[in-house]
Amino acid sequence: MDAGLKRELEAKVYAGERLTREDGIALYESDDLVWLGRLAHHRRTELNGERVMFNVNRHLNLTNVCSASCAYCSFQRKPGEKDAYTMRIDEAVRKAKEMEDEQLTELHIVNGLHPTLPWRYYPKVLRELKAALPNVKLKCFTATEVQWFEKISGLSADAILDELMDAGLESLTGGGAEIFDWEVRQHIVDHECHWEDWSRIHALAHRKGMKTPATMLYGHIEEPRHRVDHVLRLRELQDETGGFAVFIPLRYQHDFVDSADGKIRNRIQARTTMASPAESLKTFAVSRLLFDNVPHVKCFWVMHGLSVAQLSLNFGVDDLDGSVVEYKITHDADSYGTPNTMHREDLLNLIWEAGFRPVERDTRYNVVREYDPAPTLAERRAEPQQVWA
Ligand code: SF4
């Protein structure tokens, strides 16, 4: 990138001007990671100061049986496969109850598109979970699942969301977004929920008062222009509804360790490498700069590793996915040594050691507890530093 364009983009960011599609592509073309980080950190600090938000949640997958076979997915199983599972409702409740001692505030539930489970199962699970854990917020189902519920129930998304909210649903999850551009999407997504339905369902949730997350799966066969397009679609929708609370870039992962049957389910890994840490940091930074009307950008540390998660806090990120005690979708495909359990104390230390102030939040991003700011450099030098894998 030539110095003139760099100055022009810098001036726009510092003046708070909205960036264009061309600006986004130019930012991705820059190799000056430090410069990108500085710009994104400026915007992140304007919006969120030195805060890093987190919440104490548990991820629960009620079933891994799925009618679709998305090309990047190592989680799905077909009915009858050896490690296919579907939880009975009491089993799901028992698993959730195991987390009570962790002062759990949120359950994050996503699932395969099960071919024969009836629609009634889903509100029933929510009601039972809510009865067992009344103080826990339920963040459940992707827009893809809601569209699936339309198909299996014959009801509209409007009626489905009403019933799920009545059963205790606090928010949808942000998944199913992947990359919206059809040029890429047709090669990686096998279900029927694309931009039109995904955006319709989130906009509906926003009109009903929900704050929802939005994700983007990057680092596979897409190009930076597809990432820019993805964010600009979301930014436009956000202008209309204001209902997105957070944007979560998710790094595509290869299927290194498949379970007992030794099958590799991920069909695109022969065609792609995975995004490097530098590419991930760039993606966080450009996303923060382009998606100017979303309040938060999140790093889901399970997919990035803890060191990249700490670094991401200087590249536009102000939210870390919380105290995950068990997470199956990623860890069916992961052999990076990233722990799959993280508790409140670990997360606090991770944030303090990166130089930020931890803030515990709830599902709607209300502050639950503000912690002390990060210790000073002199205070930190007095203690041996922890090395995060
Ligand atoms: S990504 Fe979701 S919808 Fe696609 S195959 Fe995997 S579980 Fe099924």
Please say whether the beta carbons of 99 and 58 come within 8 A. yes
Per the rule left: phi > 0, alpha: psi between -120 and 50, beta: everything else, 270 is: alpha
Please say whether the beta carbons of 135 and 105 come within 8 A. yes
CA–centroid distance, residue 69 to ligand 1 (Å) = 6
Spatial distance between the Cα atoms of 70 and 275, rounded to a whole number of angstroms? 19
CA–centroid distance, residue 145 to ligand 1 (Å) = 10
CA–centroid distance, residue 140 to ligand 1 (Å) = 15
What's the whole-model pTM score?
A: 0.92
Is the Cα torsion angle 207, 211, 217, 218 positive or negative in sign? Answer: positive
Spatial distance between the Cα atoms of 51 and 273, rounded to a whole number of angstroms? 33
CATH number assigned to the domain covering 24-375: 3.20.20.70
Give 384: exposed, middle or buried? Use CB within 10 Å, 0-12, 13-18, 19+: exposed
Q: Which residues belong to the annotated binding site for [4Fe-4S] cluster?
A: 66, 70, 73
| Residue-by-residue pLDDT tens, the chain, 389 positions | 888 999 999 999 999 999 999 999 999 999 999 999 999 999 999 999 999 999 888 889 999 999 999 998 988 999 989 889 999 999 999 999 887 767 788 999 999 999 999 999 999 999 999 999 999 999 999 999 999 999 999 999 999 999 999 999 999 999 999 999 999 999 999 999 999 999 999 999 999 999 999 999 999 999 999 999 999 999 999 999 999 999 999 999 877 655 556 676 777 777 778 889 999 999 999 999 999 999 999 999 888 888 999 999 999 999 998 655 544 444 444 445 566 667 788 889 899 999 999 999 999 999 999 999 988 777 776 666 666 65
Euclidean distance between the first and the last CA atom of the chain, given in angstroms as a whole number: 33
Spatial distance between the Cα atoms of 258 and 277, rounded to a whole number of angstroms? 23
The residues lining ligand 1, judged by C-beta closer than 6 Å to any ligand atom, are 66, 68-70, 73, 75-76, 112-113, 144, 190-191
- Report which protein residue has its CA nearest ligand 1's atom 2: 112
CB atoms within 10 A of CB 336: 14
CA–centroid distance, residue 6 to ligand 1 (Å) = 40
Ligand 1 nearest-atom number relative to CA 144: 3
Spatial distance between the Cα atoms of 314 and 41, rounded to a whole number of angstroms? 6
